[in-house]
Amino acid sequence: MATKKTVSSTSLERHVLVRAPPEEVWKALAEPERLRVWFFEDAELELMEGGHFSFGGIEGNITATVLEATPNARLRLEFGPPWFGIVDILLSPTPTGTRVTLIHDGFEGREEWLLRFGWGWEAHLKNLKAFSEGKPIK
């Protein structure tokens, strides 16, 4: 499984194909007890517009506001310091499962963070894929 990488000077985009239907991938994103298995074990999510998303990262407590939560299709988050920007996670059905697209915008003036965030999101997408397919997370 290779993730497709796209980077501009102010955003990054990653894609992964998951052999599970969008409904299963959505559960992995939207249900806190599942999210804690493949993302961060202290992740909290209030899945509603204006809801709160948080977890402890290497930079400290990371928080975001849920801008949109369309079941089985889109999760849109706006991160606050120490992170930044807007992250869209889009789910598209395919004949064999789901195409997950992650777009992180908002690197204007922070271009040095692109590589680090790219690596991090790529690792999280691999974990999401493994979890959604019922495989061990490495």
CATH classification of the domain holding 10? 3.30.530.20
pTM of the model: 0.88
The Cα 97–Cα 83 span in angstroms is 31
Query: What tokens appear for 46 in the block?
Result: 């209030």
Total number of domains in the chain: 1
**Is residue 137 assigned to a domain?**
no
What local confidence, expressed as pLDDT, does residue 34 receive? Answer: 97
**Is residue 138 assigned to a domain?**
no
DSSP for the chain reads: ---EEEE-SSEEEEEEEESS-HHHHHHHHH-HHHHHHHS-TT-EE--STT-EEEEEETTEEEEEEEEEEETTTEEEEEE-TTS-EEEEEEEEEETTEEEEEEEEE--TT-GGGHHHHHHHHHHHHHHHHHHHTT----
User: Residue 102: which domain range?
Assistant: 4-132
10-residue mean pLDDT profile of the chain (138 residues): values are: 57 94 98 96 95 90 96 96 90 98 83 75 96 93
